């Protein structure tokens, strides 16, 4: 079955070469197919599955095409990917068209998620703070949240010595999704105390 899967991956890369350089990597017990990091299809047990999109869903629903299923802790999980049958494999033009639609849909979704992830869209994050964060290697809201306010502030402090407690509070508020003025008093107090200790240690 593994050889059939690799054969199908190679066929997919050949048939859909007009979409770009198609890469693959293990995912959900099969292999994802992607262009420029955007996943648009899966290959599992020797079968190609296309990611659901408006055009794909219309086509595959009419054909009652099965969706991709994998097992997680012994339980079946249905994924929004439709199996490509032999009829579609023989219709190269339509296969390319549906695959292109799946890729464009995935690209739009990725762009939408990325736009929601912009630092500047968070409370308290001015353009100046966003630029400093990017310079420090913090380029999106998820990274900021994973680093936390203190670690992010220290990264900024290493770049700009003049960064003060106001920025620390702004970062804490941004991570919580609130204006720094309405941070809980215990959070504000703990951050202020941490900042004072830091300043005292480094002013000697």
For residue 129, the domain's CATH number is: 1.10.150.20
7 and 89 inside one domain = yes
pLDDT band at 160 (very low <50, low <70, confident <90, very high): confident
* pLDDT surpassing 90 at residue 84: yes
pLDDT of residue 115: 66
pLDDT of residue 71: 82
Record the pTM. 0.60
8-27 pLDDT, tens digit each:
999 999 999 999 999 999 99
99 and 28 inside one domain = yes
Can you give the residue range of the structural domain that contains 49? 2-116
Decide which of 68, 99, 116 is a domain's last residue. Answer: 116
91-119 pLDDT, tens digit each:
999 999 999 999 999 999 888 776 656 78
pLDDT of residue 117: 66
* pLDDT surpassing 80 at residue 159: yes
143 and 100 inside one domain = no
Average pLDDT, the chain: 91
More confident residue, 76 or 116: 76
Mean pLDDT of 30-49: 95
Tell me the C-alpha to C-alpha distance, in Å, between residue 78 and each of 14, 99, 104, 105, 175.
Answer: 27, 20, 22, 19, 33
151 and 198 inside one domain = yes
pLDDT of residue 57: 86
Mean pLDDT of 158-172: 90
Helix pair angle (141-159, 127-135), 10° resolution: 80
DSSP per residue, 105-138: HHHHHHHHHHHHT-GGGSTT--HHHHHHHHHTT-
Distance of CA 135 to the CA centre of its chain: 21
The CATH number of residue 85's host domain is 3.30.1460.30
143 and 192 inside one domain = yes
Rounded distance between C-alpha atoms, residue 167 and residue 184, angstroms: 16
Rounded distance between C-alpha atoms, residue 153 and residue 171, angstroms: 8
**Domain count of the chain?**
2
């Amino acid at each position: 079955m593994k050889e059939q899967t690799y054969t199908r991956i190679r066929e997919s890369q050949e048939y859909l070469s007009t979409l770009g350089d198609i890469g693959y990597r293990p995912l959900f017990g099969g292999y994802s197919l992607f262009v420029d990091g955007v996943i648009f299809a899966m290959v599992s047990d020797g079968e190609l599955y296309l990611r659901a999109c408006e055009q794909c869903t219309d086509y595959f629903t009419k054909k009652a095409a099965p969706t991709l299923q994998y097992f997680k802790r012994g339980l079946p999980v249905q994924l929004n990917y439709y199996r490509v049958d032999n009829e579609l494999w023989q219709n190269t033009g339509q296969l390319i068209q549906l695959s292109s639609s799946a890729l464009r849909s995935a690209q739009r979704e990725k762009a939408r998620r990325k736009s929601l992830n912009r630092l500047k869209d968070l409370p308290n994050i001015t353009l100046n703070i966003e630029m400093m964060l990017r310079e420090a290697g913090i380029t999106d809201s998820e990274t900021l949240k994973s680093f936390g306010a203190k670690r992010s502030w220290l990264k900024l402090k290493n770049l700009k010595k003049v960064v003060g407690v106001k920025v620390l509070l702004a970062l804490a508020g941004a991570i919580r999704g609130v204006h720094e003025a309405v941070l809980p008093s215990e959070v504000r107090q703990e951050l202020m105390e941490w900042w004072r200790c830091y300043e005292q240690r480094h002013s000697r």
